[in-house]
Structure 1
Amino acid sequence: MIKSLNKNLLTLTIITQVFLLSGLTSNRKILALSQEEVLQKLAPITLFTIGNQKGDLIFIQTPNKPDVALLYISQQQAQRAAQQLNQTKPGNSYQVIPVSLADMYKFFKEKSGQPNAPVLQLVPVQQEVEAAKGILSQQNQVVKDFPGVPLFYITYEQDKKEVFLTAKNGTENIIPLSFEKDFVQNQIQIAKQQQPDLAGTFKIRVMTLQSLILLFEQKDNDGIRKMVVIPSQETIEFSRQLQQQQKSP
């Protein structure tokens, strides 16, 4: 799974194609992606959780509250959390486990109707949260606490309307969403070279991973279907190391 993400990322070439932002709220006869389609969209997104030596998921347990599982965007952040657990509970052995967001989504979705159902908490990278708050403040939005895991994307102006900037991934046109502001900043520089007449209109926008999942669950249009989450550089490096370890005798 991670391997295919890495390979696809290397073929991204910025192009422009019109997808109106207002199109996200348009209705079609099919009002939402099917459950299978939602899982397909989430399957390539690799995140990190903490498990025990057997690989069982670890939950935070609080009296009179649902059990909570933490899902980290950053492998390094998850590793630090696992090390802290090992220090505070030396009799146990905790480890970081890479997981597909689709698998976690399906697991917690199936549990959601049960009594005392556990919940999933996504843990963002604080540096990216601050970057997202900075972008919103530039748009005159006051945000004390950013409400989720930020995903950054690029828009530009065409015919006095704000539209998504798309990318070429093999033969497919996609709308790339990134966990890292630096990634989209670099893509803007590429886009400015390819489309100098649009250079002054490129903007970095931000949504949350949680809102993206809601879009998949509640809406269906060409723009939403083309949205793809790009793995972070840290996740790519982690996947490379993992592949090297698997190849080692």
Structure 2
Amino acid sequence: MKSLIRWSAVLGLVSTTFFASSLSPTMRALALSEQQIMEKLRPVPVFTITDAQGSPLIANVPNEGKQTSVAGVFISMQDAQAFIDQLKSKNPQLAQQVKVVPVSLAEVYKMDQDNKAKPEQLSVAYVPMKQQVDSALALLRQQGQQVSEFNGVPMFIATGGADKGYLTIKQGNEQIIPIFFNKEDLQGMITRFGQQQPDLANQVQIKVVDLQGIIETLQKSNDPQLNQIILIPPRESVEFVRSLMPAQGQAPAQLPAGQQAPR
């Protein structure tokens, strides 16, 4: 898959030690170009269920009295595989024809944007990791919020200091602001930060945001600090992509059409 080459840039960042360096001021809100947004999303692998031709499995769901075509996009490869395992008991014939395929989040974003103007719109339904949803809810409750559910894909970012700025790390000569799909990966970074700067360790907090909210911020903001944002995919996704690196020649999944998923 061509996107694997782009994803390789993230592998080193996730797999090596984080070097916390400073706290960044809070971002303002203005607008990034579509190309810049695509560049931010391209290194993040997500997972679809596709047929042998690379077309995604489509479900028709009721929406305001009409049927809407929905393609599921899984944040976790394991969750996508679990869906196929469940499909084996509901529709064994279809289960034999489909497989889990990684695609770039940028490709999903582009498809979603392109389809918004079409009469027969194909919607994207992101499937978050349950463990991370539970972590997000627990964190929000600890911070005093009365929440019973989390709508969307939770992501985690570290803040601290008097101005509650975003914790940055050094990548080469640049300062970046990592936003994690996996709370545990962020917690590891915070632990290393505390070892390097123990006087600031107690000031660090984890904030919960959601993926769609981040994308909307990228669409509506032109603050220079947005260029510092890097989305950090789950470690399991990184390892799965690494296992596919020798097979980069396979064709990417085609998202516009697909088979019907059982109801």
- Shared fold (TM-score, shorter chain, > 0.5): yes
Partner of 1:3: 8
8 Å Cα contact 1:11/1:168 also seen in 2: no
Aligned equivalents of 1:5 and 1:86: distance in 2?
Answer: 34
8 Å Cα contact 1:137/1:143 also seen in 2: yes
Q: Which has the higher contact order (CA 8 A, sep 6+)?
A: 2
Normalising to structure 1: TM-score of the pair? 0.90
- Report 1:109-124 matches (<5 A): 109-124=113-128
Aligned equivalents of 2:67 and 2:229: distance in 1?
Answer: 35
1:57: Cα distance to partner?
Answer: 1.3
Amino acid of the structure 2 residue aligned with 1:115: P
Amino acid of the structure 1 residue aligned with 2:92: P
Distance 1:245 1:114, change over 3 A: closer
8 Å Cα contact 1:12/1:168 also seen in 2: no
Partner of 1:32: 31
Aligned length: 239
Aligned equivalents of 2:236 and 2:23: distance in 1?
Answer: 31
Amino acid of the structure 2 residue aligned with 1:6: L
Partner of 1:127: 131
Partner of 1:51: 50
8 Å Cα contact 1:15/1:168 also seen in 2: yes
Structure 1 unmatched ranges of 5 or more: 26-30
Structure 2 unmatched ranges of 5 or more: 1-5, 250-263
**Aligned with 2:189 (options 181, 187, 190):** 187
Normalising to structure 2: TM-score of the pair? 0.85
8 Å Cα contact 1:83/1:94 also seen in 2: no
Q: 1:208-237 CA distances to partner (integer Å, 9 max, x unpaired)?
A: 111110011011212222111112110122
Aligned equivalents of 1:53 and 1:89: distance in 2?
Answer: 17
Partner of 1:98: 102
**Aligned with 2:177 (options 165, 169, 175):** 175
- Report 1:1-249 matches (<5 A): 1-11=6-16, 13-21=18-26, 23-25=27-29, 31-62=30-61, 64-92=66-94, 93-157=97-161, 160-243=162-245
Secondary structure at 1:13 match in 2: coil
